[in-house]
């Protein structure tokens, strides 16, 4: 599975690695539905190589529901996908590279 959930220092950590695509969307959405929204969440994408738009949309939805959400060390692939979809501001609170 290209994603995993762990707890570290009182935070939940979602690690995305390799290719996270539409075929993983249902499993990831189910896992995200089980999150404790009162605990902060870090998303680790340093080893992410590819990500589908549907996964980015799941993460945008997560951004709206989990107030303590941070992205740690976003990979170049993550940033490129967010830029292609115009979602860098939504996900990372940053302007897209034009």
DSSP 29-53: HHHHHT--TTS-EEEE-TTEEEE-H
Q: CB neighbours of 76 closer than 8 A, spacing ≥ 6?
A: none
Segment 15-36 shows an average pLDDT of 93
**What SS3 class is residue 20?**
strand
CA angle, corner 29, sides to 34 and 63, nearest 5? 80
Task: Write down the pTM of the prediction.
Answer: 0.87
**3-92 carries CATH number 3.30.750.24:** yes
Residue among 58, 49, 41 nearest 76 (CA): 49
Query: Of 26 and 94, which is predicted with more confidence?
Result: 26
State how far the alpha carbon of 18 is from the alpha carbons of 10, 65, 78, 80, 96, in Å: 26, 25, 11, 15, 23
- Residue pLDDT, tens place only, 48-83: 999 999 999 999 999 888 878 899 889 999 999 999
């Amino acid at each position: 599975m290209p994603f995993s959930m762990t707890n570290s220092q009182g935070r939940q950590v979602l690690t995305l690695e390799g290719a996270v695509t539409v075929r993983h969307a249902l499993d990831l959405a189910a896992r995200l539905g089980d999150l404790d929204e009162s605990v902060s969440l870090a998303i680790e994408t340093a080893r992410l190589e590819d990500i589908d738009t549907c996964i980015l949309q799941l993460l945008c939805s997560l951004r709206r529901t989990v107030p303590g959400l941070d992205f740690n060390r976003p990979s170049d692939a993550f940033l490129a996908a967010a830029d292609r979809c115009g979602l860098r501001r939504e996900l990372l609170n940053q302007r897209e590279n034009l």
